[in-house]
A and B are shown apart, each in its own frame.
Chain A
Amino acid sequence: MAPKMNGIGIVPEDTHICVVMVGLPARGKSYIANKAQRYLKWLSIPAKTFNVGNYRRNDAPHPSADFFDTNNAEGERKRRAAANAAVSDMMKWFKSGGVVGILDATNSTKERRKWVVERIASEGVEVIFVESNCDDEELIMANIRDVKTTSPDYVGQDPEKAALDFRERIRNYEKVYKSINEDGDEDHLTYLKIMNVGRKVYINRIQDYLQSRVVYFLMNLHIRPRSVWLSRHGESMLNLDGRIGGDASLSHRGEEYAYKLPDLVRESVGSDRPLTVWTSTLKRTIATARHLPKEYNQLQWKALDELDAGVCDGMTYQEIADTYPEDFQARDKDKYNYRYRAGESYRDVVIRLEPIIMELERSEDILIISHQAVIRCIYAYFMQKTQEESPWVPVPLHTLMKLTPRAYGTELQSYRANIKAVSTWRGKGSTAKHEDPVPEGGV
């Protein structure tokens, strides 16, 4: 297989795309931009977000609302200079192998968009505008509350004052805001307009495959606040023997975890609202989910099954190293790409997980009970782990993880069940049955 190949086989051949965000503050622009970046990187497509606000902060670290008033010439000049600096850096980045650059700013006027197109298209880069348009007050307020606590603009400030200032800032933008093609004279632009978190979507003039892929992904996003819960199955009989794969039942301690899981989940959710549970089709995940409350809808996905170890299924690492010494070494050298004989690689798992990721993005309150390699891939997606890191991430048994995507990154909380279990983590080169993960980088 060609070395340039990535998760879904896209080799972008000379395509450079600039995704230009459009929308008022608190419409989830940064959130969308970061999500898109994370997704593309997960699929091995070089992507980077250029946040104009970060450039502007060099000049004006904690600006008040009137800085954003269009009548404020000084503010306007500084914001334009920041946009220009961000675009220049992006162009440099394209030359060093970048493929999808994301320009994160409001770009809320026709003039600004015209400037962006002229500036970027002249360098042979395709421009696609992505607008998040929302008139749901509740959603906007939720976003404001989220931003005022996490935005670097308001670090160390009184939250109440910050919220007021932020609303004032939005009002200044609203005065001049024009939705894309609102006047019908921007029909020549390539754009995606998402109204009220995907309830309505406009797509205009998609030019190539990669753009369609980006649009496809963004359509699946929503910006409602939510979390995803991940857990491995309870300890299995094969885990006890240090054997991989198989379709074994839970050990005694694994059963204990299954009993404890409903409490653990309730503690983590913080309320009685029901989650939707996704398991694999293997016995040990279904058994782990079986004591969850009746009102939790449960679905089994074949795509959540453990990485298929092929001929090594059911073996210990020592047996693999004895039977297939070359394979054992090859795997440690490039664990992400190594494919077990008649089995799968991590890369293969990422490919088959793509529908799951899409479905996960458009859902709320999902609890996934799956397997070590699969959880690693999903974890890598949310936490932006590289291909070198992700196959080695420790995911201990009997632990529930809660991932909460935020505008500026994903938050992780772990809940331990305090039920003993063997460790199934394995260090590079090791054939130990049960080994304690190296402390740093632990989940």
Chain B
Amino acid sequence: MDTLLTAEIAANAPRYRRRSSTFIDGIHDVSDEPGNLAPAQLYSTMSGRLFHSGRIAIVMVGLPARGKTHICVSLARYLSWLGVKTRIFHLGDYRRATVEGGHVPQDYFYPNASPASVMLRQKILKKCREDIYAWLNHENGQVAIYDAVNPTASGRLALAKEFAKHDVQTLFIESYVDDQEILKENARNVKISSPDVSDDGSSDPLQAVDLFKFHGMDPDEAAKYYLKRIEEKIPVFETMEEEELNYIKMINAGRAFYYNNVSFNYLSHRIVFYLTNLHIKSRTTFFVRAGPAAEEDSYKADGPLSEDGREYAKKMTETLLRHREQERQAVIDGDGPDLPLRPLTVWTSTRLRTIETAEPLKELGFKVKQRSQMSQINPGLCEKLSERAIRALYADEVEKHELDPYHHRYPRAESYHDLAVRLEPIILELEREQSDLLIIAHESVLRVLYAYLMHCSTMDIPKLKFPRDEIIEIIPAAYQNEAKRIHIRGLDPKTIPGSPEDIRIPVPNDPNGQDSPIPNLSSLPEPAEPVAMGAPEKIVSKKRKGMVSDKVADED
């Protein structure tokens, strides 16, 4: 499923929205299920709006290659996690849908553009705004994030005024970058690392011909050239100084912030809080289970790894390091820059078996941090009870649990919701981390963290499975995250399935028989990737290039 193709078709539909697919997270999806609470939502209201904050338009400001799209996707992920109904409106999608191939006239962004160009611009803007109002007024949305350049002060003032007329408060977020190093790196990451633009490059307003020139060009040269083209294309850009507007200026990718607050409340402070933890560097996250423990495990006991467990730790380490090396080689083979590997940091919980699983990596000199918030879900009184015993002892509880496995708590236990709320600091630290990150934790913790990054619904979270023979890699792409599975070969099959140490809370039977954390995999008619058992050594998602080149066209 090609996201871009979907975008073009869908954008012409009455109500446009991006779609996720198998390996792509659901950040652009909207849940239609009534009463579906977000993972870390503390309460719900009749209106569906939280914190008494009313309806808010978050308007992005900044030239291309300033990480705007990354900021709004991340922010949407966090707000949705808190339960704030959030949608992103990328103006670029509308432009691509309106203008064939995305070719806009040369003067499209000029202040003195020709009447035809102005008309075109108006048409595209109008369609996007209509969708924003529909979202806020008729679909119970609380926050609309409007992803566009918004280069002039007069334009921004007019926009805030128009939103106010519709009883929508406006908060601007500008990504301002004057550090040349950051600019160059952004340009490199976004544009140059995807020389293969044939499936999308034609839609770039900078025109495909420019991008083909990048092929084989020195990365620094290409980045410089790209930035120069942005300036030519969008000659007027005024940084925000409008006293009367609410705005957050994020300077040099979060090194500093300036916050002009006229009338905003809790939610906007929360947004600043989140942004102070965000960076715009690209890095991947790996999830892996801890090895099996020596003695029969329990929540309270904290046993060391078994022989198998240590074997597992070694094999996992080898597979991971080989994979990272292969990925780097693939970039070089694809004429990409020969960059050193990003550093890798390892997080474990404070449980002995997670710490010991990280041991081989620690010996190799990787930094390992223990995080006590990542301790597994508390099983309460059900610990060590068989499923049959739980059904016999707590028949009522089982019934309730099956209705809402995410929010229900067994006696004295934590629910997944409790776990998600307790993991919030970890989520912010996750955003803050700049190195590649390997998380070794209990399956319950992996479920929740995976759900944050891949935007899973709360009904799916308790059912996600992380077999031991897979390392899950989450790769950030321009518009969303993608997941990839890396097979660990040569493991004793008895260590792989289920969670022998898992609390045996009877999760309702999954009708789809899922065996992967990737939601609804088997319900899709045609998976984008082969998912047969005995998966290949390495699944390379072909999506990745597509995703990045998708981003190439983001110019508004």
Q: Which residues of A are interface residues toward B (Cβ below 8 A)?
A: 1-2, 4-5, 8-11, 13, 198-206, 208-209, 212-213, 215-216, 219-220, 299, 301-303, 339, 341-342, 351-352, 355, 358-359, 362
Contact = CB atoms under 8 A, between A and B. Distances in A.
A5 B423 CA distance: 11
A212 B373 contact: no
B273 A212 contact: yes
Contacts of A206: 254, 276-277
Given A1-B414, A209-B428, A339-B412, A202 B43 contact: no
Contacts of B52: 299, 301, 359
B45 A302 contact: yes
B369 to A, nearest CB: 8
Contact of A202 (B42, B51, B257): B257
B265 A362 contact: yes
Nearest to B82: A355
Nearest to B42: A352
Contacts of A9: 373, 421-425
Contacts of A209: 277, 425, 428-429, 432
10 contacts: A2-B350, A201-B259, A206-B277, A208-B432, A216-B270, A303-B42, A341-B411, A358-B270, A359-B265, A359-B266
Interface string B393-437: 000010000000000010110100000011111001100100000
B189 interface: no
Most buried by B among A1, A10, A213, A299: A1
Contact of A10 (B258, B277, B375, B425): B425
A302 B41 CA distance: 12
Interface of B: 42-45, 51-52, 254-262, 265-266, 269-270, 272-273, 276-277, 350, 369-373, 375, 378, 397, 409, 411-412, 414, 421-425, 428-429, 432
Contacts of B373: 5, 9-11
Contacts of B43: 301-303, 352
Nearest to B375: A2
B269 A220 contact: yes
Contacts of B266: 220, 355, 358-359, 362
B51 A203 contact: no
B410 to A, nearest CB: 9
Contact of A200 (B260, B378, B412): B260
Given A2-B350, A302-B43, A342-B411, A203 B276 contact: yes
Nearest to A198: B261
Contacts of B261: 198-201
A96 to B, nearest CB: 20
Contacts of A219: 259, 269, 272-273
A355 B83 CA distance: 13
Most buried by A among B51, B259, B378, B414: B259
Contacts of B428: 209, 212
> Which 3 pairs between the two chains have the least Cβ-Cβ distance?
A302-B43, A216-B273, A203-B257
Most buried by B among A198, A199, A342: A342
A42 to B, nearest CB: 16
Nearest to B409: A342
Given A206-B277, A216-B272, A302-B42, 16 more contacts: A1-B375, A1-B378, A4-B372, A5-B422, A199-B260, A201-B257, A202-B258, A202-B259, A206-B276, A212-B277, A216-B276, A299-B52, A342-B397, A342-B411, A359-B51, A359-B52
B260 A11 contact: no
Contacts of A4: 372
Contacts of A8: 424-425
A5 B369 CA distance: 17
B42 A355 contact: yes
Contact of A351 (B254, B257, B270, B421): B421
Contacts of B424: 8-9
B270 to A, nearest CB: 7
Contacts of B412: 339, 341
Contacts of B270: 216, 358
A92 to B, nearest CB: 26
Contacts of A216: 269-270, 272-273, 276
Contacts of B277: 206, 209, 212
Given A299-B52, A303-B42, A342-B411, A205 B372 contact: no
Contacts of A362: 265-266, 269
B269 A11 contact: no
B273 A200 contact: no
Contacts of B42: 302-303, 351-352, 355
A213 B427 CA distance: 13
A137 to B, nearest CB: 20
A8 B276 CA distance: 18
Most buried by B among A199, A209, A352: A209
A208 B428 CA distance: 10
A216 B269 CA distance: 7
Contacts of B414: 1
Contacts of A220: 266, 269
A200 B240 CA distance: 14
B258 A200 contact: yes
A206 B428 CA distance: 13
B139 to A, nearest CB: 22
A11 B260 CA distance: 32
Contacts of B370: 13
Nearest to B259: A201
Nearest to B250: A203
B374 to A, nearest CB: 10
A5 to B, nearest CB: 7
B390 to A, nearest CB: 15
Contacts of A359: 51-52, 265-266
Contacts of A212: 273, 276-277, 428, 432
A200 B422 contact: no
B531 to A, nearest CB: 35
Contacts of B257: 201-204
A202 B411 contact: no
